[in-house]
Structures are given as C-alpha cells and as structure tokens.
Structure 1
C-alpha cells in the first residue's frame, strides 16, 4: 500500500462501480433478510471502511480486490488501534458482501474467505456476587411507584438473563403467569421461552398494578413504561440500574448485562448444565456460552489455591 492514510467518505461519494453494489447489498439486508436498522447501519459502517481502503489502493472494480488486499485491510486497522473483535466484525461484513457479489456475478471468488482477525485476549464477563446482588434487589426502594417498576426490572434481568433490548421490547402478552415464562424476541428476531422466578413474578405483578394506573385510558403493550406513557428506553433503564447500584453501595458500576452474566454464572456454578444455560441466554452457538466455564474455572482455581495443602505458598 502506497500510503498509510485512508480518507473517510460515505458510500454515495464513491465511483458508481463500487457504490452501487454496496448500496444494493445494504438494501437487501433490510428488505429481504429483515435485518434491524441498527444492524444495517453497522454493516454500512463496515462497508465504508472497505470502500475507503479499496479506493486508497486505486481499485476501481470489486473484481480487482484480492485476498492480499483484505489482509492489508485487516493489518491497516490493527495498526490504527482497532480491537481484534472490531476487525473480526469488519471481516465478517466483507465476507457477506463478497458472497452477495458472487451471487450477482460481479466477482468470481470471495477474497475475504479465510482471512482471520488478530487473536484477541479472552475477556471474561463481569459478574456480581450473589450476596451483593441480593442486597441490591432487596435494597431497591419499592415504597414509591418508580421503585416498584425498577425492582421488577432488576428482578426480571437477574431471573431470566435478558438482554437490555429484549427487556425493552417485552410486551404484556409475552408474559405467561400460569407457566411462569416469558416469550422473548432475541437477536435476529429469534424467539425463545425463558422461565421467570417466583420473586420476579411477584415484582412484575405488583408493577403491573401501578402500570395500569399510569396508563389509565391509554393503550400501550410495553411492560415497562414511563409516567409520560411511553415505552421505557434502553438508556433510561441503564441509568436507573446504575442509580440503584450506587444507592445500595455496590462495588463497580451496575449495568443490565451484569445481571445477565451473573444469572448465567450462578446457574452454571449450581448446575453445570451448559446446554440449559445456552438455551436461557439464547446463544446460537454453544461456544459463546462456554466463556462462563472459564469464569467458573477461575473461581475453582482461586478456591484450590487457598484450600489445597500442596498449593499454599
């Protein structure tokens, strides 16, 4: 590559031969594959990185892109400080795009196939100890309406290991109080049924009574709402959980994903049933869930170092 500088332009600013297939690919993601707007925007950002890099190489057509160019793209962003995880996302978008170009007979092979991102150091999910989580759930002040709502949110997060977006999308008809389950729409619009614990069910029932007062004469399906009669936003939920973490005195920042990680970890510690935890979390691949086995092993190693007579220093 002749220069380490890559100018940043939007897709529309490129030559037609490069821009039109990229625009058509993005349109297909939304219209035919039913990808969310957020996912489509993410693909657009990745394609713009690819386009800017390709132009810096004076490449005018997609058929001119070779595997070496994709490797250079990965190496360039690695030098720029992009994380291995982000590079992997970029390469994944490139592979999908070139597969589309093959179908459209604009290229004969996929130059991104087989190109791997730099290895990333394994980071373990951050969790909260059981006693701290119990203190948080019991410490949320449910003497006021907003506290009753927030307690139901926190209990449901920890009970059913929901993602933030999944809890935001939850509607009243998705909860089955007879079966103590919830119908969840997860990533890729995949549906799964998750159990709801007794404490969470009690908190949700109490909240729904308040909710009916807040929404008097107003139709809204969302389980968690504001006093302004709108569905509670992701940012608002994040701020409320962070607020209660500080109020109760929890070490470190409390955010929704900590409830999810803690639920998965505590279940795995008690049951060792990795497949069941995978189903609960809605992971497509078991390998995604296996990160919790590493977390569990860390705890085992810590106990071993403290307790085993031949491990003590």
Structure 2
C-alpha cells in the first residue's frame, strides 16, 4: 500500500490532501477485509461487492462511495501492473454513477457584502481583505491561495502565477480591485505580520504560512458579519467566480484555463448553474411561467 502512495506522489504529483484521502480509503478497505477473513492481496470480486454494499449500508454519500471504489480500481491496477497479484478483482466492478450536484455559490450582492466585511484598519483583516479579493478575482483554490509566495505575483503586469494540482502552473489575471487591495495590504499590513524574513505573500499572525483551515474559519466569520446565511464551503468563492463569469457570457474553455481544470467536463457543471439561474428567474418573473 505504501508503494502505491509513493507512486502517486512521485509520478502523478497529487496533493497532500488527495494522498491523505487515498490512505484513509485504503485503510478502511483493509479493515473491512480483515474483519471478513480476507486481505488486500487475496480479495475477490465478491469481497469488493460486499465492501460496496457495506458502504451503502453506512449511508455513505454516493460521491464518497464512488471516490472509494475509484481509489480501489487505481490501487488494483497498480498491483496488477507491478505483478503483485495475478488477477484483478476490480475488473468486473461497475462504477456507481455519482449524482451531478450543482456547486453552492453566492450571488454577486452576497460576494460584495463578504468582500466589504473586513476592517481595513486592522492588519490581519486588511490581509484577509486582500485574500478574499484575490480569491474571487482569480477563482484559485484556498490551498493555492495560502501557499502563495511573493515571487508568484506581478502587480505591474496584473497577473499571478498559480501552482495547482500536480504542480501545474497557470497565469491568471487579477483585476483592478484585487490589485488595489494587495497593494494596500503590502504597504500597510504585511510588514506588521511578518516576524522574520519570509517570501510568504499572506503570513499568519505568527508570521508563517497560514493553513487553509485557518483561512476557511475566517471566511465563515466574515460571512456571519455580512449576514450571509448560505451554507458555505471552501470552494464557494471559486464557484462564485466561475458561475459569475459564465453568467456574463465567458467562454467555457477560458473558465477551464482560469480554474486549472485538466478536463473541460469538470468545468461544464457551470453551464448547468447558469441554466438553473435562468430557469429560476423565468419562473419568478415570466407571466406565464
């Protein structure tokens, strides 16, 4: 199992969060097999089916079951390719179809309220304001945001070099509002937060790189301050960025490049969001809806 995780890290450059999910899924699978007098190396097609039924009996979300079965398929393909097993128990397993969920997002008015929530006179909140503006302006992931270095940003050119999944880089324009917020933060607050020399663009109050969990808690606090009652997720502003672009006529392939999606099908969910919004407006305002 450790060899498999090492391969994912070395050859595919998966993030620490993704690797952690793989470890957790495989550990759960091994524990299930051991409780049923089997093991990873000797698992059969019937064992995999039993594990699927076990997950369903636990009322696991369909997306969670799909992710775990996908992890097992990848794992057993690795074992077979490495000639560590003679037959692949996943060969005949049919992947469950995941429900297509529309991502939770915010209206433009709610985004404006959230961006206005931080107090720019406070150093930490001035930093948070610049982070929120940049998050909405670029659609980057929270993990990408908190790991930004000074060398990745060019205020003069108005672009930021984002390092995404698999260490893939993309250049994303920032927009005037984000540039203004970052310039203000760099002039007034960053030096106050730094405890020692560091290239981290948005240091924590300890002067080190912030964790994504810390920033996520701060987003939720600002949402409460702005009277936003939507059930937020770490990707909410990323979804708002993409949804608002599509709603204003942006080409889907451009949105794909900005988000750093490797597959256009991942980006196509935002066309459904746009259609859902149009249907909602039609039903509310059309006299014959």
Q: TM-score, normalised by structure 2?
A: 0.90
Q: Does 1:130 align with 2:103?
A: no
Pair 1:184–1:136, CA change in 2 (3 A): same
Moved more, 181-190 or 107-116: 107-116
Pair 1:39–1:309, CA change in 2 (3 A): closer
Q: What corresponds to 1:194 in structure 2?
A: 172
Moved more, 221-230 or 112-121: 112-121
Q: What corresponds to 2:29 in structure 1?
A: 50
Query: What stretches of structure 2 of length at least 5 have no aligned partner?
Result: none
Pair 1:202–1:103, CA change in 2 (3 A): same
Q: What corresponds to 2:123 in structure 1?
A: 145
Moved more, 149-158 or 235-244: 235-244
Pair 1:100–1:197, CA change in 2 (3 A): same
Q: Does 1:154 align with 2:132?
A: yes
Q: What corresponds to 2:255 in structure 1?
A: 277
Pair 1:60–1:181, CA change in 2 (3 A): closer
Q: What corresponds to 1:9 in structure 2?
A: none
Pair 1:185–1:113, CA change in 2 (3 A): farther
* C-alpha separation in 1, matches of 2:216 and 2:190: 20
* C-alpha separation in 2, matches of 1:172 and 1:191: 15
Q: What corresponds to 1:110 in structure 2?
A: 88
CA displacement at 1:204 relative to structure 2: 0.6
Secondary structure in 2 matching 1:194: strand
Alignment length, in residue pairs?
Answer: 288
Q: RMSD across aligned C-alpha pairs, in angstroms? A: 2.2
Q: Does 1:252 align with 2:230?
A: yes
CA displacement at 1:159 relative to structure 2: 0.4
Q: Equivalent residues in 2 for 1:75-114 (5 A)?
A: 75-113=53-91
Alpha-carbon deviations, 1:206-265, whole Å to 9, x = none? 11122134337x211111112321122222211222222222222335554211111110
Secondary structure in 2 matching 1:271: coil
CA displacement at 1:144 relative to structure 2: 2.1
Pair 1:26–1:251, CA change in 2 (3 A): closer
Pair 1:114–1:270, CA change in 2 (3 A): farther
Moved more, 109-118 or 271-280: 109-118
Structure number with greater Rg is 1
* C-alpha separation in 1, matches of 2:40 and 2:184: 61
* C-alpha separation in 2, matches of 1:69 and 1:159: 48
Pair 1:129–1:41, CA change in 2 (3 A): closer
Q: TM-score, normalised by structure 1?
A: 0.84
* C-alpha separation in 1, matches of 2:282 and 2:12: 49
